[in-house]
Amino acid sequence: MGIIEIVSSMPNPLELEYSQLNTRFDPEQGISWVRMNPQAIPCFNQELLSELRQYHQSIEDCKGKIWAAGNLHPIRYTVLASEIPGVFNLGGQLALFRELIRSGNRKSLMHYATMCIDAMASRIRHCDLPLTTISLVQGDALGGGFEAALTSDIIIAERSSKMGFPEILFNLFPGMGAYSLLARKIGSAQAEKMILNGNIYSAKSLHELGVVDVLVEDGEGESAVYDYVRRKARYANGYLAVQRARQRFNPVTYQELMDITTIWVDAALQLGEKDLKVMDRFVRSQQKLFGHNDNNQGQPSNPILQELEGPRMYWGGPERRKVPRVHHA
């Protein structure tokens, strides 16, 4: 009884209260689901970042064991997904970026960037546990949203999803893990091309490039997660061993992530007014789409992305600069 009492007192990720995350646990398959449900614009606001860090830390604290229905169950998988129809995540909080950049507030910009790294650093190293991470992308993942998807071992994407890094349109780059994670998956040359061309890629195209691991039809994403888990079960030991070998051979360290995000902060503070006006248009488009102001309060009034003319609407519509286009092949 003593052991049971100690174990049952461990932090349980399902018992924590979140305002912008929804969690559930499937004890039979050992899957911990975490779905992002940010308030207002579906981007990485500071509350969402804080809760993601808390969620991953709680998995570490409980040593990958969840007490459910009177029994102790191991966490074998953690799946990152979204509650917002048609949107995985739109990335960084642009309204905050422009304010901090215009005011030259390096300390606060660095604080936000560090929160982004801290929210996902534990996930990148699997919470120091023998578990597999999966991103289920059932909508558009742009900028930091695409970076978040890349933090997982496996990306499962529904066919209508689109992903890309449009940051170059306002003369910046994605600095919270994009280069480190994408280069390890498809090589530095292809990663730089994707970062610098500003294109928005279809899930099919990313599957062909090797970025998306499993491509499924719309509405089949969650079933695809369970199919993947069932297929892997027979060879789980081998899969985990290869995963550990890959992590040992080419680890993504916290220091590397922080060094690159520091470069991002310094570059952001060099943006001129012309660049910030492009960012202004991106902010206005997001606010118009989701019906919100800079305070980022309330709930999305119309998040269904099928009503958009195209993915460029997220980022302010056509500019004199190159506009991101959907890349299909």
The β-bridge relationship of strands 31-36 and 77-82 is: parallel
Chain CA centroid to CA 249, Å? 24
The backbone torsions φ and ψ at residue 215, rounded to the nearest 5 degrees and listed phi first, read -110, 125
Task: Please tell me the distance from the alpha carbon of residue 62 to that of residue 47, in angstroms, as a whole number.
Answer: 22
The backbone torsions φ and ψ at residue 117, rounded to the nearest 5 degrees and listed phi first, read -65, -45
The pLDDT value given to residue 9: 53
CATH of residue 31? 3.90.226.10
Give me Rg for the CA atoms of the chain.
19
Say how many domains are in the chain.
1
Burial code (b: 16+ CB inside 10 Å, e: under 16) for 301-327 equals eebebeeeeebbbbbbeeeeeebbeeb
Find the domain containing 293 and state its range: 2-327
The answer to whether the beta carbons of residues 214 and 157 sit under 8 Å apart is yes
From the list 20, 169, 172, the residue with the least C-alpha distance to 82 is 20
Calculate the dihedral angle through the C-alpha atoms of 298, 303, 308, 313, rounding to the nearest 10 degrees.
Answer: 50
The backbone torsions φ and ψ at residue 133, rounded to the nearest 5 degrees and listed phi first, read -105, 140
Tokens of 324: 């991101």
Q: What is the pLDDT along the chain (329 residues), one digit of tens a residue?
A: 333 333 445 567 767 889 999 999 999 999 999 999 998 899 999 999 999 999 999 999 999 999 887 889 999 999 999 999 999 999 999 999 999 999 999 999 999 999 999 999 999 999 999 999 999 999 999 999 999 999 999 999 999 999 999 999 999 999 999 999 999 999 999 999 999 999 999 999 999 999 999 999 999 999 999 999 999 999 999 999 999 999 999 999 999 999 999 999 999 999 999 999 999 998 998 888 886 544 443 333 333 333 333 444 344 333 333 444 445 44
The pLDDT value given to residue 318: 31
